[in-house]
């Protein structure tokens, strides 16, 4: 690049360090120009006197260049001394950074630098600086990103898997049950005449398929910018629907559009023939008694209880019950883990209210579905298209069918403590 000559005013406004650097550069430029003149004079066969004069000017510029270099180093030393004390304080007990190492190198070679003018030698500085974490502006920018998205705890769904599954293509499902039966078979003597009142009536009933839905509005930019957001939102709405279905199958009111449910179908526990009949009963005994009641309701032929649904608190207490000698109670009809009591499997879930229980023959219930869970994305909701908002929607159409003749296969114990008291001998 062409050297630019600065005015005296510009030079006056320079710092000492910049002024020294400018002088070095100007001397180098002048030396180069004199060198060119010397070469031209040689080619033109100039006189000896002219050549000697040019040689003296070149020598003078070289000496001035060395003086300028020394002046530049002195100017830099002044600047370095200003932050030397700061560096010493900040770096005490810490790895040496480059600036501090450079200053140390200059100090160690001070004598060599003083002799630079006379011997025209090169001074080599060996700078040894350590890198530390502070040299990176933000270490978190280079963190190792763990895969996936951490999930908040969600209640496990379980009700649907307990029952039969059936698909339908209609909004309504009808079923035909025997309503009444009169059985009047009699003993007859020979060919004597006899009268009989045996009779059967039927009743057709109808169940309507209902719907459970959830939806979320989300900016399409967010879905475009973060590839995991779409799946997270899809999982959110589909899981919400599954949880609502799970709740409806156990606790729905059967008042449209709510689902029919175990709670809506089940009879309420009453001790009946088992009142004041069990010695020192526990929850295990109560489950056993309710299973017997269900079997009795099915004429000990049609119903066999296979599930007892309890709150996790009740299930935990069931497995830590002890006798008077503090020995764990494990009857011969219960597995060591307390999960199976005779033919009944105990299931613990937070959906079941504390101190309540449902016992049933689940083979007598059917989940009837009109398609499966559907997840849709659309712009058609309000001003979604105008604002680039996507509505993510999940829904399912279904209901819970229990034939009228099978309702007694389900039993609800609304107060476990009271029920245990009722069967206590």
Q: Which of 79-88, 175-184, 273-282 has the lowest mean pLDDT?
A: 79-88
* pLDDT of residue 419 exceeding 60: yes
* pLDDT of residue 111 exceeding 80: no
Three-state DSSP state, 217: strand
More confident residue, 5 or 399: 399
Three-state DSSP state, 157: coil
- Phi, psi (degrees; rounded to nearest 5) at 394: -130, 140
Nearest residue to 70 via CA among 119, 14, 136, 15: 119
User: What DSSP designation does 141 have?
Assistant: G
- Residue whose tokens read 């510009």: 10
Q: Which fold has domain 160-170+211-423?
A: hypothetical protein PF0899 fold (3.30.2320)
pLDDT of residue 167: 95
pLDDT of residue 88: 60
* pLDDT of residue 374 exceeding 70: yes
Asked if residues 321 and 338 have their Cβ atoms less than 8 Å apart, the reply is no
CB hemisphere CA count around 111 (13 angstroms): 1
Q: Which of 85-94, 126-135, 308-317 has the lowest mean pLDDT?
A: 85-94
The ranges assigned to domains in the chain are 8-139, 160-170+211-423
Ranges of beta strands (E only) in 209-285 are 210-219, 267-268
pLDDT of residue 125: 59
More confident residue, 66 or 33: 33
pLDDT, tens digit, for every residue of 43-59? 776 677 776 776 777 67
Task: Please compute the mean of the pLDDT values over residues 15-37 and round it to a whole number.
Answer: 73
pLDDT of residue 168: 95
The residues that bridge with 328 in the sheet, in sequence order, are: 322
Task: Please compute the mean of the pLDDT values over residues 374-399 and round it to a whole number.
Answer: 88
pLDDT of residue 355: 96
Asked if residues 381 and 217 have their Cβ atoms less than 8 Å apart, the reply is yes
Q: Which of 5-9, 151-155, 175-179 has the lowest mean pLDDT?
A: 5-9
**Res. 119 pLDDT band, cuts 50 70 90:** low
* pLDDT of residue 106 exceeding 80: no
* pLDDT of residue 86 exceeding 80: no
Average pLDDT, the chain: 83
* pLDDT of residue 62 exceeding 80: no
* Range among 20-29, 31-40, 165-174 rated most confident: 165-174
CA distance 410 to 297: 10
Task: Please compute the mean of the pLDDT values over residues 292-321 and round it to a whole number.
Answer: 93
* pLDDT of residue 80 exceeding 70: no
* pLDDT of residue 401 exceeding 90: yes
Asked if residues 246 and 388 have their Cβ atoms less than 8 Å apart, the reply is no
* pLDDT of residue 411 exceeding 60: yes
pLDDT of residue 309: 97
Task: Please compute the mean of the pLDDT values over residues 110-121 and round it to a whole number.
Answer: 61
CA distance 422 to 277: 9
pLDDT, tens digit, for every residue of 172-221? 999 999 999 999 999 999 999 999 999 999 999 999 999 999 999 998 88
Q: What is the pTM of this model?
A: 0.66
User: What DSSP designation does 82 have?
Assistant: H
The residues that bridge with 344 in the sheet, in sequence order, are: 341
* pLDDT of residue 127 exceeding 80: no
More confident residue, 421 or 320: 421
pLDDT of residue 337: 66
Percent of the chain with pLDDT over 70: 76
* pLDDT of residue 313 exceeding 80: yes
More confident residue, 162 or 149: 162
pLDDT, tens digit, for every residue of 329-366? 766 566 766 688 888 999 999 999 999 999 999 999 99
pLDDT, tens digit, for every residue of 226-261? 888 888 888 999 999 999 999 999 999 999 999 999
* pLDDT of residue 1 exceeding 60: no
Element (H, E) at 36: helix 16-43
Task: Please compute the mean of the pLDDT values over residues 296-301 and round it to a whole number.
Answer: 95
């Amino acid at each position: 690049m062409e050297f630019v000559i600065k005015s005296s005013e510009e030079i006056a406004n320079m710092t000492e360090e910049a002024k020294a650097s400018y002088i070095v550069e100007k001397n180098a430029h002048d030396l180069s120009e004199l060198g060119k003149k010397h070469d031209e004079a040689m080619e033109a066969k100039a006189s000896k006197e002219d050549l000697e004069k040019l040689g003296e000017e070149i020598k003078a510029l070289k000496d001035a260049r060395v003086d300028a270099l020394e002046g530049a180093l002195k100017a830099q030393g002044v600047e370095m001394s200003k932050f030397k004390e700061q560096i010493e304080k900040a770096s005490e007990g810490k790895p040496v950074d480059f600036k501090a190492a450079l200053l140390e190198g200059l100090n160690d070679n001070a004598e060599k630098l003083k002799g630079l003018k006379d011997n025209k030698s090169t001074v080599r500085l060996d700078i040894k600086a350590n890198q530390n974490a502070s040299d990176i502006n933000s270490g978190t920018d280079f963190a190792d990103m763990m895969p996936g998205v951490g999930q908040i705890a969600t209640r496990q769904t379980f009700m649907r898997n307990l029952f039969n599954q059936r698909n339908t293509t209609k909004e309504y499902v009808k079923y035909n049950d025997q309503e009444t039966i009169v059985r009047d078979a009699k003993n007859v003597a020979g060919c004597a005449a006899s009268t009989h009142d045996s009779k059967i009536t039927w009743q057709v009933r109808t169940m309507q398929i209902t719907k459970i839905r959830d939806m979320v509005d989300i900016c399409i930019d967010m879905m475009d910018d973060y590839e995991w957001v779409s799946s997270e939102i899809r999982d959110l709405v589909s899981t919400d629907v599954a949880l609502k279905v799970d709740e409806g199958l156990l606790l729905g009111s059967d008042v449209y559009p709510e689902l029919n449910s175990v709670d809506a179908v089940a009879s309420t526990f009453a001790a009946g023939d088992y009142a004041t009949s069990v010695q020192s009963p526990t929850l295990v005994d109560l489950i056993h008694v309710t299973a017997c009641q269900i079997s009795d309701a099915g004429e000990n032929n049609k119903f066999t209880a296979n599930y007892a649904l309890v709150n996790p608190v009740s299930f935990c207490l069931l497995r830590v019950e002890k006798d008077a000698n503090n020995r764990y109670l494990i009857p011969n009809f219960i597995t060591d883990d307390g999960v199976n009591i005779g033919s009944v499997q105990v299931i613990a879930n937070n959906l079941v209210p504390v101190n309540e229980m449902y016992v049933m023959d689940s083979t007598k219930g059917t989940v009837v579905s009109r398609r499966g869970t559907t997840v849709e994305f659309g712009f058609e909701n309000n001003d979604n298209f105008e604002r680039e908002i996507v509505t993510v929607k999940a829904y399912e159409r279904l209901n819970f069918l229990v034939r009228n003749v099978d309702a007694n296969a389900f039993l609800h114990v609304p107060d476990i403590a009271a029920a245990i008291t009722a069967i206590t001998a």
